[in-house]
Structure 1
Amino acid sequence: MGKSAVLWFRKGLRLHDNLALLEACKDATHVYPVFIIDPHFVGPGKVGVNRYRFLLECLTDLDTSLKTKYNSRLIVLRGNPLDVMRSLLKDKQPFAVDKLCYEFDSEPYARSRDAEVTKIAKEGGVEVTVSPGHTLFDLDEILKKFKGTPPLSYGPFVKMVESIGPPQTDKDAPAAIPAPPAAVLGKVDESYSVPTLQEMGCEETPHNGVLRGGETVGLQRLHDVTRNEKWIATFEKPKTKPTDFNPASTTQMSPYMKFGCVSARKFYHHLLAIYKRHKGHSQPPVSLLGQLYWREFFYTVGYATNNYDRMAGNKICRQIAWVNNEEWIEAWQQGKTGYPWIDAAMRQLRREGWMHHLARHAVACFLTRGDLFCSWEVGAKTFDELLIDADWSINNGNWMWLSCSCFFYQFFRIYHPSTFAKKYDPTGAYVRRYVPELRHMPDKYVYEPWKAPKAVQEEAKCIIGQDYPEPIVDHAEASQECKDRMKAAYDEHKAIKRAPKSEMKPDPDDEEEDDEEGEEEDDDEDYSIYKPLDGTNKRSRKGKKASPKKKTKA
């Protein structure tokens, strides 16, 4: 007699290349596809409406595929996963099972949860099988290569993972999935259906974005973006435009990767097939393959670092005395800083749950080391709530990077909150879309409307300080103060490390630490993440600084 297995969906919301699903189907008479609505992720400040809508769309699509292709259904249970699993695995309610299968999740909350669930399963005599699948490589295998401590530079990381060899080929969806008994299937619509936004306590708002959830949509997007092979082969992310919308200038595959609607391995092998047909294709770190490696990089560092999502107790994070001005934070979160480019990006985030990576860089720099000197933790939590593709490892890693708390140390390189976007969008179409108060403002003033004469403001029907806020800080003054504070924090860090009795371990990226001595100027280039593949940063192998590029200040 075959076994009854539970396939516990968390991420990995797909049927293709799902190793946990294939494991559940082995020797099974019945497979119960289960998703648990976890209250841990519900509530103010947890998950915004755009991401919750995307999740529910993923679940609906999964249920539809199971129903139409396999005569099965997705069983949605609600409650604390430990309570739900205790009832299911020990009390055999609402149905009895012999085996529990799920995909490995590297996040701290998930690891703690899964360890407790495994204990419950053993107490109930239920076999547990954990499969890889959310990343290209096994994270433990990567860490073994680095003797437990991953590098904080991208270049060495890529060289190491490429030495492992290519990820395994992605698997097709199973030919058959043994369905739950008819008695259980008959109760799905009444008792185990996918909830609505209203049932989850979310306000039912209009769907303002272009990103719809689900494996079906994700695979179609992958097909559409890889159809233009020349674009894929020559893709360089820093050359994409942060002000493009409908369509965006990137693939926008990140939400489907975050939820596991599309397998990372499937994306990887699609790319390699195209690269083989196009010699001279782009390379990491800027290529699309490079973006998959960035994902692995942050997942590995996040997996290996305690307190990765905060400054305190985080051994890789610089300890900086951020000053959290609540009024400024609120203005930043609501897109009311008085800087149209920053406000447009933050309003796009709140409205659609997405923005281009350079927009993310700009608003992060503005909040932290560029202008407001507020903690990166505030920004990370805001992004974690509002981004559809919010990913714990990538989000926190990027915020440490962009605040010069880890990975990148050239804090004097600052995104200008007015001039940076001009080179991409000189007429301000992006600003006019997301900050409609400025839709009639002349091009000359759309990025700096406070400079417009009163008569121009009146003609544009936008009085600064009345219809649109004045800048909450003076950028020239604020950025200089931020640089001074960052230098003081770095100097203190050096002093602590050089103290005779210091027990601190050497900083893995210590050779880059002196870069704050460079020319301090507002910089419109994207220096914040795409470092050379060898891990160096504007410094030669002998330690001599490269000559700074001369720029005309705006």
Structure 2
Amino acid sequence: MQHSSIHWFRKGLRLHDNPALLAAATNCRRLHPPFILHPSSNRAGINAQRFLLDALRDLDGSLQEMGSRLFVAQGCPEEVFPHLFHAWGTTRLTFEVDTEPSACRRDHGVEVIREVSHTLYDTERVLALNDGKAPLTYKRLQSLLALLGPPEKPAPALTQEHLQGCLTPCQASHDGDYRVPTLEELGQDPAKVGPHLYPGGETAALARLDTLMERTAWVCNFKKPETEPTSLSPSTTVLSPYLKFGCLSVRTFWWRLDEIYQGREHSQPPVSLHGQLLWREFFYTAGASIPNFDRMAGNPVCLQVEWDDNPQHLHAWREGRTGYPFIDAIMTQLRTEGWIHHLARHAVACFLTRGDLWVSWEEGLKVFEELLLDADWSLNTGNWLWLSGSAFFHRYFHVYSPITFGKKTDQDGAYIRKYLPILKDFPTKYIYEPWKAPQAVQERAGCLVGTHYPQPIVEHGVASKRNLGRMKAARAQKDTKREPPAGPSTVKSQRKKPKIEQH
């Protein structure tokens, strides 16, 4: 039977390793590949929207080289698809499996083919091995994946040969009806977009991957905790936005790394690049199976905490106006460029939640969802749960100091001077604590603290000590609900007061 196929591009915005796209082209007489743009369905800000539009234009260009086109439609998929099925006489729908709760099957009586290619493993198989439950530790995930063996090899990239005898009917009105929109058409002001450091799309993704894979020694020696959050150029791969949108296949990345690792000494999970992809798998598996994963209420793995409702503190943190230059520089980089180093994410997430401001991680999650290019639902949620001390991570007394942590890799404050130019003329002695500078020093620097740059929003030493007590109390309350009365030895151990460990 010759099908009239729709391949629904959702996240897998690429032609390489796209088994669902290959399935659409098999025994196919007509192929329509749409992308449904639902502007109100996510919180993505202007930088992330530009990245997506880049990726769509790149995908359309690649499809045109194959004699096909991308059809960009706007609206709610449940409303758009019945119209497309009717207009195009569709008999088959293919798409890449999406594990997020908002994704659901919409078949409308046509043959549906779902293929796994956004994750290394079929999440449902991993969960089945664990009695339907999410593995809650990295080691447990590793033990389950060991039973499954290595990830599948990538599917072949789509070629013109796959599309022989398969046409994509395009009307003269295609560029009016189905073209990729502009930022203005999405209601954004292009003047407010940040520097174009990371163009979206499969072409840019594969070029970036190729460049990184040429650095054989760097790949083999990569240990994520040893990379620098204050580096003025990224000290990690910055492939995460491409993985998020599916411009780069995670399986392709995995096997390219495997080629380099063969016969060479190399770092190991969890700190290696393979280890980073397994962290991605860990959070995808958790997000796919834990109810209410992206909120505290009704989330069975989440510590229930009475966070403060403080809109002023949240706004100051979001806008980089906390009075702590390291925190404010990170948030400024995030807002302008859409990407920050993972340890920088740790620092600002800890500061907002259990470290200093005691604001709910759900609020931070929303801000990251808007500002990050790589705001992947599962990873963003999992990391906020982790950094707030709400799930997975239990060393809640490890606090990232907003003063000393940045100094470890940037004693002179070059990172702060770049992103907070108002402080650029402060002496190194005061760059992390400008409020301690004498009045004359502030005047010479052309920046008066409290006038041109804010005073610290809280006193870190006092706030972190208070919050340590609150976190300890929340954890104790959870333990009393779940555990039987403690015996003498347990009571004795509970009397030990954990001390804040400042990073």
Alignment of 1:63-212 (within 5 A): 63-68=60-65, 70-89=66-85, 92-93=86-87, 95-111=88-104, 114=105, 117-118=106-107, 121-122=108-109, 126-176=110-160, 177=163, 184-204=170-190, 205-212=192-199
Amino acid of the residue matched to residue 142 of structure 2?
V
Deviation at 1:268, TM superposition (A): 0.4
**CA shift in 2, pair 1:517/1:303, >3 Å:** farther
Deviation at 1:495, TM superposition (A): 1.4
Asked whether the 8 Å contact 2:193–2:336 carries over to 1, the reply is no
**CA shift in 2, pair 1:397/1:349, >3 Å:** same
2:202 corresponds in structure 1 to 215
1:251 corresponds in structure 2 to 237
1:14 corresponds in structure 2 to 14
Alignment of 1:26-65 (within 5 A): 26-41=26-41, 46-65=43-62
Asked whether the 8 Å contact 2:100–2:378 carries over to 1, the reply is yes
Cα shift readout 1:377-405 (whole Å, capped 9, x = no counterpart): 00111101110000111111000100110
Cα distance in 2 between the residues matched to 1:180 and 1:188? 18
2:414 corresponds in structure 1 to 429
**CA shift in 2, pair 1:103/1:374, >3 Å:** same
Task: Name the SS for the 2:462 alignment partner.
Answer: helix
Cα distance in 1 between the residues matched to 2:167 and 2:120? 35
Deviation at 1:162, TM superposition (A): 2.4
**CA shift in 2, pair 1:332/1:515, >3 Å:** farther
Cα distance in 1 between the residues matched to 2:207 and 2:497? 47
Asked whether the 8 Å contact 1:307–1:313 carries over to 2, the reply is yes
Deviation at 1:190, TM superposition (A): 1.9
Deviation at 1:451, TM superposition (A): 0.4
**CA shift in 2, pair 1:515/1:316, >3 Å:** farther
Cα shift readout 1:151-171 (whole Å, capped 9, x = no counterpart): 211112112212311111112
2:221 corresponds in structure 1 to 234
- Kindly indicate whether residue 365 of structure 2 is the aligned counterpart of residue 380 of structure 1: yes
**CA shift in 2, pair 1:211/1:187, >3 Å:** same
Alignment of 1:528-547 (within 5 A): none
Amino acid of the residue matched to residue 415 of structure 2?
Y
- Kindly indicate whether residue 279 of structure 2 is the aligned counterpart of residue 300 of structure 1: no
Deviation at 1:40, TM superposition (A): 3.3
**CA shift in 2, pair 1:74/1:178, >3 Å:** farther
Cα distance in 2 between the residues matched to 1:57 and 1:207? 14
Asked whether the 8 Å contact 1:12–1:134 carries over to 2, the reply is yes
Cα shift readout 1:274-332 (whole Å, capped 9, x = no counterpart): 111312x1000100000000000000011010100000000000101111211000000
Deviation at 1:3, TM superposition (A): 1.3
Asked whether the 8 Å contact 2:468–2:500 carries over to 1, the reply is no
Task: Name the SS for the 2:478 alignment partner.
Answer: helix
**CA shift in 2, pair 1:133/1:182, >3 Å:** closer
Amino acid of the residue matched to residue 100 of structure 1?
L
Deviation at 1:516, TM superposition (A): 10
Amino acid of the residue matched to residue 62 of structure 2?
S
Deviation at 1:78, TM superposition (A): 1.1
**Alignment size in residue pairs:** 494
Cα shift readout 1:461-486 (whole Å, capped 9, x = no counterpart): 01000010000000011001101111
Deviation at 1:179, TM superposition (A): 8.3
**CA shift in 2, pair 1:30/1:183, >3 Å:** closer
Structure 1: give runs of 5+ residues left out of the alignment: 501-510, 525-554
Amino acid of the residue matched to residue 247 of structure 2?
C
Cα distance in 1 between the residues matched to 2:497 and 2:2? 68
Cα distance in 1 between the residues matched to 2:199 and 2:347? 26
**CA shift in 2, pair 1:86/1:307, >3 Å:** same
- Kindly indicate whether residue 250 of structure 2 is the aligned counterpart of residue 264 of structure 1: yes
Asked whether the 8 Å contact 2:31–2:167 carries over to 1, the reply is no
Cα shift readout 1:174-218 (whole Å, capped 9, x = no counterpart): 222368757525332121100000001111134414111000000
1:409 corresponds in structure 2 to 394
Asked whether the 8 Å contact 2:30–2:168 carries over to 1, the reply is no
Cα distance in 2 between the residues matched to 1:334 and 1:39? 24
Cα distance in 2 between the residues matched to 1:161 and 1:374? 36
**CA shift in 2, pair 1:440/1:516, >3 Å:** farther
**CA shift in 2, pair 1:209/1:479, >3 Å:** farther
Correspondent of 1:324 among 298, 309, 317: 309
Asked whether the 8 Å contact 1:31–1:178 carries over to 2, the reply is no
Deviation at 1:411, TM superposition (A): 1.1
Cα shift readout 1:427-457 (whole Å, capped 9, x = no counterpart): 1111111111101111110000000000000
1:367 corresponds in structure 2 to 352
Task: Name the SS for the 1:76 alignment partner.
Answer: strand
**CA shift in 2, pair 1:189/1:347, >3 Å:** same
Asked whether the 8 Å contact 2:3–2:30 carries over to 1, the reply is yes
Cα distance in 1 between the residues matched to 2:169 and 2:60? 17
Cα distance in 2 between the residues matched to 1:516 and 1:195? 61
Task: Name the SS for the 2:31 alignment partner.
Answer: strand
**CA shift in 2, pair 1:516/1:309, >3 Å:** farther
Deviation at 1:491, TM superposition (A): 1.3
**CA shift in 2, pair 1:164/1:473, >3 Å:** same
Cα distance in 2 between the residues matched to 1:180 and 1:333? 50
Deviation at 1:252, TM superposition (A): 0.4
Cα distance in 2 between the residues matched to 1:350 and 1:22? 38
Task: Name the SS for the 1:277 alignment partner.
Answer: coil
